[in-house]
Structure 1
Amino acid sequence: MEDEFYNLAVKGNDLKTYVIRFQELAILCPNVVPNFKKLLEVFIWRLPKSIEGNVTALKPQTLEEAITIT
């Protein structure tokens, strides 16, 4: 599962599947990302570049905020 978490990415425009699987893997592999700030960075970093810039510019404070922005 950790390998899947490390390699998880958005396929096409299917953000919903990415978000759901990211949340599942974050719960199932809590030790993969050392803290919440890093978890948020990983989530944003794996978004398509066009979306990543918008999310980063709005500076979400929680994963839920980042998900809502996407």
Structure 2
Amino acid sequence: MSKGKPEKRSEVEEVEEVAKRLTAKHPELKAKDVREVVQREYEKLQEARLRDFIPVLVEHAAKQELKTRKK
């Protein structure tokens, strides 16, 4: 590992981290269900040309979906 810029994680790794964060935030939901929501939101954005914000957009959309499941 070289000094300087930290290694950039892949988009898939970032989305996996989103799933982990949301699973921890919603212990009342099954981890499998949270991962499915995150994956579904990720798949919706596969055609997006600008990829830099995909993990952020996935997290936002998944949070909204999970909120509706809690009600």
TM-score for both structures, normalised by structure 1: 0.31
Larger relative contact order (CA 8 Å, sep ≥ 6): 2
TM-score for both structures, normalised by structure 2: 0.31
Tell which structure's C-alpha radius of gyration is larger.
2
